[in-house]
Each structure stands twice: as structure tokens, then as C-alpha cells.
Amino acid sequence: MSQTQPLAATNDLVIRFANVNGSGSASANNLFSKAVFRLGVPVSSKNIFPSNIQGLPTWFEVRVNEQGYLGRRGGYDFVVAVNGQTMVRDYQELLPGGYFFYDSSKRLPDTFQRQDITLIGIPLTDICNANYTEPRLRQIFKNIIYVGALAYLFEMDFTVFEDSIKSQFAKKAKLIEPNIQALRLGYDYAAQHHADCCGLNIHRRDLNGDQILMEGNAAAGLGAVYAGATVAGWYPITPSTSVVEAFEKYCQAYRVDAATGTNKFAILQAEDELAAIGIVIGASWNGARAFTATSGPGVSLMSEFLGLAYFSEIPVMLMDIQRTGPSTGMPTRTQQSDLLAAAYASHGDTKHVLLFPANPKECFELTVAGFDLADRLQTPVILMSDLDLGMNVHQCDPIEWDDARRYDRGKVLNQQQLDDLPERWGRYLDVDGDGIPYRTIPGTHPEKGAYFTRGSSHDEYAAYTEDGTVYARGMQRLLVKWDTAKRLVPAAEVSGQNSRIGVVYFGTSQYAAQEALDQLRTQHRLDSMRIKGFPFGQEVAEFMAAHDTVFVIEQNRDAQMKTLLVNELDLDPQVMVPVLNIDGMPITASFLVAEIEQHLESLSIHPKPQEA
């Protein structure tokens, strides 16, 4: 057996923290990843948590990568094993040459006999017991102590941690010193007992510029504030809950009238998801901007109402923070498996506008754009985020706002406009060929503009009809509107190398897809396209038509985006090769490279087949 060399790298490593849910580990782990970020080194973290409040295993993965790859890489170079329940698994899954960091207050079991890894034992419990008497403090500071030890082992600049603690506890100054002391305990112990044993380092760089760290859900909630949403109806469901919590937090900060102390927003926790979207529809019908956030089970429940909004043409902003389905599925794992349920939600012929953000900045921007689109198109718009994006902290460019920007409230007639109309107004009359009629808000005019909104078939003047010709005319007009939507949704991002082979991806697959493409392009010529909206614009149709083989990367079992492409663009399904990840974990670059390489081989496409 050849001796495995301990891993050695600077600013390129993956660390797994194995913790117990509810033990206070999250803030310590975030302290660590934020320190990496503040050292100017790109970092991404994934909280892999159970559907549980206390007691079950939880993991926190941190990838440090100075090339800026922020997706999951796959594999662990360093494990912080502080959960007895998962210790065997954490030990076994460590990569050869990796480092196993554990609480050496207790001896490792005799079965732990790997020769290809480095053990780093720190007696966390003993250190805590010697320094703290209160059980609660022992638990909290145990986490901080291992962060201090990591600071030494990875040769990280200790002042960054001190500064983080100071800003974190700026309002609770008495907590600053004890936390720094705990960090120091871990740092000093590692320095005395484990000098020069770790080949993995995190050294200061200046690679992060003005980037920020944010959760996608917080960005979406903030987007709703900036977009002028005033009404939110919602029902708690993981992983969407923090969208409305963020909306409320930002509203409390920026939407309370200074003079009266009253709220310029109304947030109602509804009895279920049906009521949540009912509230949104009622408020939008009445001229306010309103939204709700949910996940797959909520989308199922909201389907009937989505059909009403589609057919009676009421703006709806819905955020679907997708999780692993079907049914309850894995509620705390990620997936992109609601595409079909969302795109065609409800009975009858219905289709809905979808937006696919890939990072928190886009959660903000596409939320703002979504409100404009919903108002402009008078139809539901669904932001297709996911658990990975929504609940994990992501590094991205800062969020921007142009103060000259005005909300697009779409075709809404005011009193004066109603008076000035040369001919009879029809709520469902397309007067300018874009398939979008003009609407009125209740209370606008004493004599004109009142109509009866209904989910039953109606003519151009909103009167009930059972005349099949009139009904069909209305349904065809909705397709004209659908064509208008194709021009208004954000265009796909296309990157070309003039190849006959394309790679398509969307949403959070972006991180891994970009890394995989960088690797694959060293061997192959590949074009790529990131889809950002549905219905597909002309550029999507053109891209698909221009390639003989298109890999479609998705995080679901049934290749739902491929189905949408086949269905909406009338494509030959044989052109597309689905590349699917369904284990509920964010997709990795190594998986993509392996899958795509294998297909390229089977297609007899060899590296660098032709000159550029």
C-alpha cells in the first residue's frame, strides 16, 4: 500500500462541519465562512439540515475556492466531527489525504483505523469544562473554540475573526470579550499541539471586491419591498418562510410611517395556502401589489386560484422556493422539480410566466421584474427559486437600485382616461394587438369602468357567455398575450463557441454548470445557454435550432425543463440529453463533467474535434 500524501492546497478546499441540530453550531459555522469571505477569498456554504428542531444531525459544508467556483464540488478535504451520531459516516466519507478534526476528550473507537488521513484531536469538551461552569456556555463556546482552532490550522488571519465578533455583537458589547477568548482557547491549543500538521491553508487575497453575502430569500423579500408590494398573504412552509420574514423585517425598518407609527404594508398569515393566494388575488384585483411565497405543496394547493387569475387576468406574484418532492418529499432538501406544476398549474388550458434566479442578486432583481411583469401582463408570475438559493448564504454582486426607476403598473385606466375613451370600454377587449386588455380598479369612477370579474367564460365586455365562439376567441387572445410575454421575460444568457453541441441550464445549477463548462471546454467546444424566463424567447428557440445535441441540466427526475422545451418549441426530444441530479443536494461540477463526458464519448465526439 502506497502512503497517501496529506492534502496540501491554499484557498482550495471543502470543509464539512458535522453538528447536532439546535446546538448553536450555525452561528459558529457562519462566523468561519464569513471570515473566509472577509479574507477576500471566494466562499460558499451549504447548510444541510434535517426537518427537525433539535437533536438530529445537521451538516454545514464550506467550499473555499480562489478561482471563484461557488457550486458544490463533491468530496470533503477536512471534516469537523462534533456529532457522535454521524461520526462513523463522517470518518468514512473523508477523502484520502484529508484531515479528521474531532473532540479528543473521548478516545476514538478502535474501529477507526484509516491510515490515509490525518487525525487532529482537540479536547473541546475538556477545554470547555475547565473554562466554563454553566452548561449552556459550555455548549455555545465549544463551537467557537473549534472555529478558533481552525483559524490556526488554516493559517487564517486572527484579526478577521476578532473584527467579525466585534461587529456581530456591536449591540451586546459584553459578549465580545468572552467570544474572542473562546476563539483564543482553540487557537492556542491547536498551536501548541498541532503545529504544522495541516497542509490546507486559507490566506488573504483581494478577490471579493464589493460582493455581498446574502440568502436568496432575504433578497426576494427585500425585492418585494423595493417593488412596492404592500400586501402579503402567506402560510408557513419550509423553505419559503424566510421570504416573508425578510419582507416583514425590511418593512418594519423602512415602511412604518414616521408621523403616525402606522404600517404601509399588510402581512397576513393565512389559514392555508389557498387563502394566502386568495388574499393576493383580492389585493391585486383591488390595485395593490401583493405576493405570496410557498413551496411545492403550496403550489399544488394554489392551483385552482392560479387558474382563476390566469383566466380572469389578475396580476399575481408568487415565489416558489422549491424543495424535494413529490408530496412532502424531503422538506429540507433542494430540487428544481416544480417546473411543470408551476408552468401549467390548474385545470384547463393554462400557462404561467416563470422566472429562474441563480443568485441572491437575481432573486431581488427578478422579484422586482416579476411585479412589473405581473402588472403588465395581468397574469400570475412565478419566481422559481429553490431551497439551496433561498436558505443558504451566497456570495454575489451587490444589489443595485436606480432611483429613476418607476413601477410599471400596466394598463390601468384612471377616472380621466375612462371619461376620455372614444368608444365603449371592454375589460377583455384587446384594442392594440398585444393581447393585453385595459383594466380598472374598484372605486375609480362613479359611472364607468365597473365590471364583474369571473372565472366563468366571459365576452370582451366581461359578460357571462356560453357562446363557444366567444369563449374560443378569448382563449386565443390569451395566446396573443403569451406571445407578448415571450418578448418581456428576461432573455436567456447565451455563450457561444460556434459549436454544434450545447449545454442548457437554469437557476442554481449555474454554479456547477459554469465550473463544469470551464473544465469541459479545455477538451471540447461547447455552447451554453442559461434560461432565465418562461415562456421561452426567440433566442431560446434559435439556440435549440442551432445545435445537434443539447445537454439539459436539471435538478429533477423527469427532465421537466426538457419537457417544457419540447412542448413549447415543438422540438425533437432526441436532440436533448437530460443531465439530471435528484438526490436533494445541490448539483456538483464533478457530476456534470462525468455525465457529459460519458455522453460525448457515446456520441463519438472526441476532444477538440475541429478547429475553431
Partner 1 sequence: MTFIRPNFRHPENHTNEIGYSIKNYEGALSTLCAGCGHDSISAAIIKSCFELNLEPHKIAKISGIGCSSKTPTYFLGKAHGFNSVHGRMPSVTTGANMANRDLLYIGVSGDGDTASIGMGQFAHVVRRNLNMVYLVMNNGCYGLTKGQDSATADKGSAGKKGVPSVFDSIDLCQLALQLGAGMVARSFSGDKQQLVPLIKAAIKHPGFAFIDVISPCVTFNNTPASTKGYEWVRDHLEATGTIDFIPEKSEITIDYPAGSSRQVQLHDGSELVLQKNANDYDLSSRKAAMNRIESVKEAGNILTGLIYHNENQGDTHASINTTQRPLNALTEADLCPGSAVLEQLNAGLR
Check if the beta carbon of residue 585 is closer than 8 Å to that of residue 333: yes
Asked if residue 297 binds partner 1 (CB under 8 A), the reply is no
Three-state secondary structure string covering 249-310: HHHHHHCECCCCCCECCEEEECCCHHHHHHHHHHHHHCCCCEEEEECHHHHHHHHHHHHHHH
Q: Where in 189-218 is the site for partner 1 (CB under 8 A)?
A: 210-214
Q: Where in 396-435 is the site for partner 1 (CB under 8 A)?
A: 398-403, 406-407
Shortest reach from residue 219's CB to partner 1, in Å = 10
Decide: helix, strand or coil at residue 380. strand
Closer residue to partner 1 (CB): 78 or 371:
371
Q: Where in 544-573 is the site for partner 1 (CB under 8 A)?
A: none
Asked if residue 366 binds partner 1 (CB under 8 A), the reply is no
- In what helix (H) or strand (E) does residue 45 lie, and over which residues does it extend? strand 43-48
Q: Enter the DSSP assignment of 576.
A: E
Asked if residue 38 binds partner 1 (CB under 8 A), the reply is yes
For the stretch 341-375, what's the b/e string if a residue is b when 16 or more beta carbons lie within 10 angstroms of its beta carbon? bbbbbbeeebbbbbbbbbbbbbbbbbbbbbbbbbb
Closer residue to partner 1 (CB): 269 or 523:
269
**Longest Cα pair distance anywhere in the chain, in angstroms?**
91
CB contact set of 384 (below 8 Å; sequence gap of 6+): 320, 322, 336, 338, 339, 342, 354, 355, 356, 357, 507
Shortest reach from residue 57's CB to partner 1, in Å = 29
Using CB under 8 A, which of 145, 280, 354, 512 touches partner 1? 280
Shortest reach from residue 441's CB to partner 1, in Å = 7
Closer residue to partner 1 (CB): 283 or 384:
283
Shortest reach from residue 263's CB to partner 1, in Å = 5
Name the segment binding partner 1 (CB under 8 A); options: 138-146, 440-448, 474-482, 514-522: 440-448
Estimate to the nearest angstrom the gap between the alpha carbon of 401 and the chain centroid. Answer: 20
Shortest reach from residue 528's CB to partner 1, in Å = 29
Residue count, binding to partner 1 (CB under 8 A): 73
Q: Where in 214-273 is the site for partner 1 (CB under 8 A)?
A: 214, 222, 225-226, 228, 230-231, 233, 250, 254-255, 257, 260-268, 270-272
Q: Enter the DSSP assignment of 451.
A: -
Estimate to the nearest angstrom the gap between the alpha carbon of 291 and the chain centroid. Answer: 18
Alpha-carbon distance 58 to 83, whole Å?
A: 9
Check if the beta carbon of residue 183 is closer than 8 Å to that of residue 147: yes
Shortest reach from residue 15's CB to partner 1, in Å = 22
Closer residue to partner 1 (CB): 450 or 479:
450
Q: Taking CB under 8 A as the rule, which mask of x and - marks residues 443-472 in contact with partner 1?
A: xxxxx--xxxxxxx-------x--------
- How buried is residue 598: exposed, middle or buried, by Cβ count under 10 Å (0-12/13-18/19+)? exposed
Closer residue to partner 1 (CB): 66 or 126:
66
Closer residue to partner 1 (CB): 127 or 222:
222
